[in-house]
Amino acid sequence: MKLARIRSAAAAACALAALTLVTACNRDSSSGSADSGGDKPAIGIDLPRSDSDFWNSYAEYLKKDVKSEDINALPLSNSQNDVTKLVANVQVFQNTGAKAVVMAPQDTGAIASTLDTLASKKIPVVSVDTRPDKGDVYMVVRADNRAYGTKACEFLGEQLGGKGKVAELQGALDSINGRDRSEAFAECMKTKFPKIKVFELPTDWKGDVASAKLQSLLAQHPDL
C-alpha cells in the first residue's frame, strides 16, 4: 500500500506538471466555453478505474493537487476499465472546451483513433502509467515496466539458486504494462535461469482470477 501511494503520488504530480506546461503552450486567441475571459485553459482528466490501491491513491492525490495548484479541471470522469467509456468521456471533454486531456488507457491498442482526433483538434494528451500502442501523445508518465519484470526475475532466480518452479501472475496483455513486464520476465528467465520452469498465469489484473489460477496450479505442483 505504501509503495502504491508513493508511485501514485508521483504519477499525479508529474501529470499535472506536464499539464501546466502543455496548456501554457496551447493557449490561443479562440474563445470557448471553458476558456473565456482569459481564464486558465480547461483540462479534461479521466480516471481509468477504481479497483486498486494504486488508482484510488492516484485519484486522491490528483484531486488534492488540482485544488492546491489551482488548475482549471473539468469534472473528473472514470472510464472504469472500458475503452468505449473512455472514448465517450473524451468526447464530453471536447464538447465542454477542454484544451488538454489526461488519460490512462487500459486497452492501449484501442485508443489510437481517439488520440488522432484529439491531435487533429490540437488538444494535447498526457498518458499516465500506460503508453498507447499508436497515436500521438504530448507526454507519457510511466514507470519502466520492463525493469519490473527483469528485477522480479533476478530476485526469484537468485532465491531459488537457478532451479525450481515459478508462477508468474501476468497482468492484462492488452496493456503495454502487462506485456512489458511479462516479456521482460520471460526473456530474463530464459537467458539467466534456464533451469527454472515458469508457469504463466494470465489474470487481466483481477485478484480473484489470480487466486483461482494459483490455487489450481499449486494443487498440481505443490513444489512450486
The string of pLDDT tens digits covering residues 27-40 is: 443 444 444 434 78
Name which residue leads in pLDDT, 91 or 65. 91
Distance between CA 146 and CA 151 in Å, rounded?
9
Same domain, 24 and 98: yes
The yes-or-no verdict on residue 17 having pLDDT over 70 is no
Residues 125-136, mean pLDDT to the nearest whole number: 91
Same domain, 153 and 118: no
Residues 99-116, mean pLDDT to the nearest whole number: 93
Q: Which cell goes with 191?
A: 537467458
Q: What is the 3-state secondary structure (H, E, C) of 180-214?
A: HHHHHHHHHHHHHCCCEEEEEEECCCCHHHHHHHH
Buried b / exposed e over 124-146, threshold 16 CB at 10 Å, is bbbbbbbbbbebebbbbbbeebb
The yes-or-no verdict on residue 26 having pLDDT over 90 is no
What pLDDT was estimated at residue 114?
96
Same domain, 152 and 190: yes
Same domain, 157 and 198: yes
What pLDDT was estimated at residue 62?
87
Same domain, 66 and 85: yes
Same domain, 128 and 180: no
Same domain, 176 and 197: yes
Range of the domain at 88: 2-141
Same domain, 196 and 121: no
- The strand pair at 43-47 and 100-103 is best described as parallel
- Confirm if 178 and 206 have CB atoms less than 8 A apart: no
161 confidence band (pLDDT: 50, 70, 90): very high
Please, what is the average pLDDT of the chain?
86
Element (H, E) at 224: none
Residues 122-149, mean pLDDT to the nearest whole number: 91
Same domain, 161 and 127: no
Same domain, 135 and 169: no
Q: What is the CATH number of the domain that holds 201?
A: 3.40.50.2300
Q: Total domain count for the chain? A: 2
Q: Provide the whole-model pTM.
A: 0.69
Q: How far is CA 99 from the centre of its chain?
A: 21
Nearest to 103 by CA among 122, 78, 67: 78
Distance between CA 53 and CA 40 in Å, rounded?
31
Point out the domain boundary residue: 84, 110, 141.
141
Same domain, 111 and 189: no
Per-residue pLDDT tens digits for 163-219: 999 999 999 998 888 999 999 999 999 999 999 999 999 999 888 999 999 999 999
Same domain, 184 and 115: no
